[in-house]
Amino acid sequence: MIHTLRDTTTTDRVLRLVLTHQRRARTETHPGDPCARCLAAHVPRVGAFVELNRPVEFVLPAFPVKSPNPAKVLGRLPDMAEELAVRFLDELCTRIAEVYPPGAKVIICADGRVFGDLIGVPDPDVTAYQQRMRELLDAAPSGRLSLFTLDNAKRMPTHGMLRDWLDEDFGESAEDLRREVCDDPATTSLYRGLCRFLFEDRATPDYAGTRAALQRESRRRAYGVLSRSRAWGRVVQQRFPAAIRLSIHPQPCGDPKLGLLLGTGHDAWLTPWHAVAVETSDGYRLMKRAEAEALGARLVRRDGRPSHFTLEGA
């Protein structure tokens, strides 16, 4: 099909809106803002939707479950931290619809069920988190956000069998994965980040073992989480083959995945499920719960549940 000038311009405008919020690794340079090479990498997929005059589809594996570490978060359910991210994505969709009337759709591919067992979060907690996320996404004014989970991908009698299906049909060999973690810098840094999160999330006052044992255990589980996340990526790819794949992690320049921040503040590298929202005179910020408490922030409850903090004089 021939791209008309109108299509090219529209594709460019849609992509520029998204790339404004591109998440970049601090160590990597991208030529320009927005980055010309990243722009070019996503033109074919976005352009394909624009040519058909259909909503541009984005998939975002994210919003797994709340971190099990009470020093970071307020509880097990999505709270104001998630609401702010949903609001951000909703507004992004609205802005895209202003330059391209068919607009965009963001499908959150929640991955809590995919690796909940490896991070020590029970399945009922995953279910509760997903249910609340679905409510938040359904309530978003643009009507363009939705949720897709492992439970929607396949029907199985138990969640354990669902994960076995994922490993068997979409997994890869442990050896291949280890080689990639050694050889590919982006995978190495993702693996290291996972090790750090897994360590932090278990290093709570009630942890009885040694630091070295916890580090070893975190490295082992990081491989599992990485492997399952990638298997989930393949399920998502099969289910939404034309969609643009977003990621909450920084991606190499020109990569087919697009790293996206979930907010506009300087704290946006923190994800809602590893943090709490703190309302200041300057708007909301994300930080770890222990940090908010150390600053003397006051807890705000809504609908009988802890929602966020307020910080007076900040």
* Strand 283-287 relative to strand 298-302, pairing: unpaired
Region near Zn ion per CB under 5 A, out of 101-109, 115-123, 169-177, 245-253: 245-253
CB of 37 to Zn ion, least distance (A): 5
Q: Select 40 or 294, whichever has its Cβ closest to Zn ion.
A: 40
Among 25, 35, 128, 186, binds Zn ion (CB under 5 A): 35
Are the CB atoms for 106 and 96 separated by under 8 Å? no
CA-wise closest residue to 307 among 281, 282, 283, 289: 289
Q: Select 186 or 253, whichever has its Cβ closest to Zn ion.
A: 253
Q: What x/- string results for residues 201 through 240 when contact with Zn ion is judged by CB under 5 A?
A: ----------------------------------------
CB of 35 to Zn ion, least distance (A): 3
- Is 37 near Zn ion (CB under 5 A)? yes
Are the CB atoms for 232 and 111 separated by under 8 Å? yes
CB of 259 to Zn ion, least distance (A): 9
Are the CB atoms for 163 and 183 separated by under 8 Å? no
Q: Is the dihedral of CA 85, 88, 90, 93 positive or negative?
A: negative
Q: Select 32 or 283, whichever has its Cβ closest to Zn ion.
A: 32
Among 156, 203, 253, 300, binds Zn ion (CB under 5 A): 253
CB of 46 to Zn ion, least distance (A): 15
Q: How far apart, in Å, are the Cα atoms of 30 and each of 7, 39, 43?
A: 25, 11, 17
User: How many positions of this chain bind Zn ion (CB under 5 A)?
Assistant: 5
CB of 40 to Zn ion, least distance (A): 9
Q: Select 21 or 144, whichever has its Cβ closest to Zn ion.
A: 21
CB of 95 to Zn ion, least distance (A): 21
- Is 257 near Zn ion (CB under 5 A)? no
- Is 181 near Zn ion (CB under 5 A)? no
Region near Zn ion per CB under 5 A, out of 96-104, 233-241, 247-255, 263-271: 247-255
Give me 28's structure tokens. 């990597």
Q: Select 38 or 225, whichever has its Cβ closest to Zn ion.
A: 38
Q: Select 171 or 254, whichever has its Cβ closest to Zn ion.
A: 254
CB of 89 to Zn ion, least distance (A): 21
3 state DSSP class of 245: strand
Contact positions with Zn ion (CB under 5 A) in 3-32:
30
Q: Determine the straight-line distance between the first and last CA of the chain, rounded to whole angstroms.
A: 55
CB of 253 to Zn ion, least distance (A): 3
Among 38, 226, 231, 270, binds Zn ion (CB under 5 A): 38
Q: How far apart are CA 208 and CA 204, in angstroms?
A: 9
Q: What residues contact 274, with CB distance under 8 A and at least 6 apart?
A: 67, 72, 73, 197, 288
Strands (E), the chain: 56-60, 104-110, 145-149, 244-247, 258-259, 276-280, 283-287, 298-302, 305-310
CB of 184 to Zn ion, least distance (A): 17
Q: What are phi and psi of 26, to 5 degrees?
A: -60, -25
Q: How far apart are CA 173 and CA 167, in angstroms?
A: 10
Are the CB atoms for 271 and 287 separated by under 8 Å? no
Binding site for Zn ion (CB under 5 A): 30, 35, 37-38, 253
